[in-house]
Structure 1
Amino acid sequence: MPNIKQVSQYAGVSTATVSRTLKNPEVVSPKTREKVLNAVKAVGYRPNWLAASVKSGRSNSIVVLVPNLVNPFFMRIVEGIEKTAQEYGYSVLLGDTQGNAELEHQYASMVLSNRADGLIQLDHSYPFSELDAELGADIAMVSVCERIKGDHGFPCIELDNHGACRALTHHLINYGHRSFGVIAGQIDSQIHRDRLAGIKSVLDEEGIIFTDQMLVGSSYSIENGIKGARELMELEQPPTAIVCFNDDIAIGAIHALKSMGKRVPEDVSVVGFDNIPVTPYMDPPLTTVDQPALEMGRRAMDMLHQMMSDKPLSRRRELLPFRLLERASSGPVPQ
């Protein structure tokens, strides 16, 4: 069986450097790290993390809570987490919670029972039960995408959602749109508040009044997009532009509009959020906001590793930039 000495000989470094690279890759240079990891693959070395965890009292694993594993946006974040976790020598357990509080509690309790060393939450809920809430306050946990509800103070990685929705709204305003509809996702989350505030701020600047009728929807699903688009088009003054709070909603909205004989974007412009892989190939290709999902996952794992290593964080909140991708689902207001 290949051992650490063979790795060191292949890489041309000391066994101590190999061990340091595998346990704390951030303390060695990128060149050394690449050399050691290539040697590990070449000789087929597998570190005995189980033995190490017995000695250290650590499991060398983390839990990632995902509200919906089918969602391709979440899976890109998970990919970033897993790649970085492997570099640090951690395995990743995915908990597909489907927004179920009891499932969240079960997965989160693994950290309290030392079956995992840290936790990454992709939803906005506090994942510990009332019984475990006090203990949960002291564990290594990072939220990504969403900010955890309540004053818990956990670090987070998130997008500039306010700025992104300002950019989407400006994009539609520049095409002459003055009548808007919004199909939202989870309405009790910080993301919802930030995105809606971004839209409202631009409309206010343009002298466009936002009414309650312009806002529909309550989940990040295709079905919500279908239902929401139909509700909006039944208004006395239906919108000429619809902002969807994720791409699945936009897919449903476009489907519903076409079933009603509406053309996109000639009759109604539709924009989404996330830039999931299918969006460039839709009919029409979807105008959307691209989130750096892989980078969000990487940074979340970097931050979690710092916490698990008892290292101070330079910042507890990272706000990542967005890209507005203008495609064919948005266009001039109909004359």
Structure 2
Amino acid sequence: MRAGRKEGPPVAVTIKDVAKRANVAASTVSRVIANSSKISPGTARRVREAITELDYNPNYHARSLVKNTTNTIGIVMPRSAQSTFQNPFFPEVIRGITSEIHDKDIGMYLSTGQTEDEIYNEVVKMVVESRVDGIILLYSQENDRIMPFLLEKNFPFVLIGRPSAQLDQISYVNNDNVKAGGMLTEYLLLLNHKKIGFIGGNENSMVTKDHLEGYSNALAKRAVPFREEYVVYREEIKEGGQEAAIELMSLSSPPTAIIAADDMMAFGVLRMIQDMNKKVPDDVSIVSFNNFMLSELSTPPLTTVDIHIFDLGARAAESLVDLMYSGNKDIQHTIVPHHLVKRESCTVWN
């Protein structure tokens, strides 16, 4: 070595170096880093091998400065976050979201609005003030103002649920809720129930509408009359289930089975039925949706539809990261499967 020669700093490996080593485009490397499902397993493996060989470390902070990004996503909750977090659906779906974004150093910004106007204004600020790079909406209802605003601004977002319109313009992750509602109804019909009550959540929410459609379709298929008095709506969780049970069981011809909007509402129904000195399932069968952990521990254990809440969140986050950072602008529609979990809250009606 020549006297006085100084070793320079190591040359940083760039994404272009990785792309050259793996013989792919730089955008493909970005997608692999973002864990995009659009990349074939073989290509992803080749890119990851190149990343390891070159000891490439993505500098997320530098990338955010260059691209004027925040490395933060907005999570838009239904109104009244306090009551929302009483429902295990939302912590679980957020757990799924964080499973996808944690290793990417992406943070979350949760909405806290108590009214629809407050939520809308908060979303406007997220976008206009560049607080987030993309948004996940955790609910969908008719006459919603948020999705049209995000479409107008061409802002990346993914919906967990089904949009009421503009399906071809909106990326979403959902269950087949019409099929799920029909499956529960069909199950009760096979148990010889003809008087089946339906307790929906928010009447304007798309998941309630889809469950009701599945319910009515299954009744029609078996030539069982649809009775308006058997359909009630409650937005509250446990208290709503109790009130709905009173309304249904006070009918002159009460239902012999009840479908509840989710497990938490079903717990309220169970409690009220027991307070009426009736037994589940001997006097009334009860089924619901979501398969929360507590549904297995209720008395009796609850028959419910497992909608794989964690997967809904994880797939939504994966789709949003793809939209935000990979350059892929393709609209993505993902359907997460569901299945019936039979427990002890139903019996054959004689």
Q: Tell me if TM exceeds 0.5.
A: yes
One-letter amino acid matched to 1:265: P
Residue of structure 1 in register with 2:311 after alignment:
295
Residue of structure 1 in register with 2:4 after alignment:
none
Residue of structure 2 in register with 1:143 after alignment:
159
Q: Which residue, 214, 223, 226 being the options, matches 2:239?
A: 223
Q: Which segment drifts farther, 303-312 or 115-124?
A: 303-312
Deviation at 1:212, TM superposition (A): 1.1
CA contact (8 A) 2:111 2:122 kept: no
1:160 correspondence with 2:176: yes
Residue of structure 2 in register with 1:66 after alignment:
77
Deviations 1:133-171 (A, max 9, x none): 377541001100x22444473211110111111111111
CA contact (8 A) 2:150 2:156 kept: no
Q: Secondary structure at the match of 1:225?
A: helix
One-letter amino acid matched to 2:312: M
Label 1:36 to 1:247 Cα distance change in 2 as closer, same or farther (>3 A).
farther
Label 1:35 to 1:241 Cα distance change in 2 as closer, same or farther (>3 A).
farther
Label 1:107 to 1:172 Cα distance change in 2 as closer, same or farther (>3 A).
same
CA contact (8 A) 1:66 1:98 kept: no
Q: Secondary structure at the match of 1:204?
A: helix
Residue of structure 2 in register with 1:250 after alignment:
266
Q: Which residue, 178, 186, 195 being the options, matches 2:211?
A: 195
One-letter amino acid matched to 1:174: L
Q: Which residue, 190, 209, 212 being the options, matches 2:228?
A: 212
Residue of structure 2 in register with 1:265 after alignment:
281
Q: Distance in 2 between matches of 1:317 and 1:256?
A: 39
Residue of structure 1 in register with 2:138 after alignment:
122
Deviations 1:300-323 (A, max 9, x none): 11211222133132x532222111
Label 1:312 to 1:244 Cα distance change in 2 as closer, same or farther (>3 A).
same
Q: Secondary structure at the match of 1:272?
A: strand
Q: Distance in 1 between matches of 2:35 and 2:228?
A: 51
1:133 correspondence with 2:188: no
Q: Distance in 2 between matches of 1:36 and 1:265?
A: 58
One-letter amino acid matched to 1:57: N
Q: Distance in 1 between matches of 2:343 and 2:226?
A: 26
One-letter amino acid matched to 2:321: H
CA contact (8 A) 2:234 2:244 kept: no
Deviation at 1:89, TM superposition (A): 3.3
One-letter amino acid matched to 1:262: K
Structure 1 unaligned segments of length 5 or more: list them: 41-45
Label 1:135 to 1:214 Cα distance change in 2 as closer, same or farther (>3 A).
closer
Aligned-pair Cα RMSD in Å: 3.2
Matches within 5 A, 1:1-335: 23-26=33-36, 29=44, 49-67=60-78, 68-98=84-114, 100-125=116-141, 126=144, 128=146, 133=149, 136-144=152-160, 146-151=161-166, 153-308=169-324, 309-313=326-330, 316-333=332-349, 335=350
Q: Distance in 2 between matches of 1:299 and 1:99?
A: 28
Label 1:238 to 1:25 Cα distance change in 2 as closer, same or farther (>3 A).
closer
CA contact (8 A) 2:113 2:122 kept: no
Deviation at 1:229, TM superposition (A): 0.5
Label 1:36 to 1:245 Cα distance change in 2 as closer, same or farther (>3 A).
farther
Label 1:128 to 1:203 Cα distance change in 2 as closer, same or farther (>3 A).
closer
Q: Distance in 1 between matches of 2:261 and 2:128?
A: 34
Q: Distance in 2 between matches of 1:271 and 1:113?
A: 45
Deviation at 1:31, TM superposition (A): 9.2
CA contact (8 A) 2:35 2:318 kept: no
Q: Distance in 2 between matches of 1:135 and 1:204?
A: 37
One-letter amino acid matched to 1:147: R
Number of corresponding residues = 314
Q: Distance in 1 between matches of 2:113 and 2:346?
A: 34
Q: Distance in 2 between matches of 1:47 and 1:134?
A: 29
Deviation at 1:88, TM superposition (A): 3.4
Q: Which has the higher contact order (CA 8 A, sep 6+)?
A: 2
One-letter amino acid matched to 1:60: N
Deviation at 1:99, TM superposition (A): 5.3
One-letter amino acid matched to 2:162: R
Identity %: 28
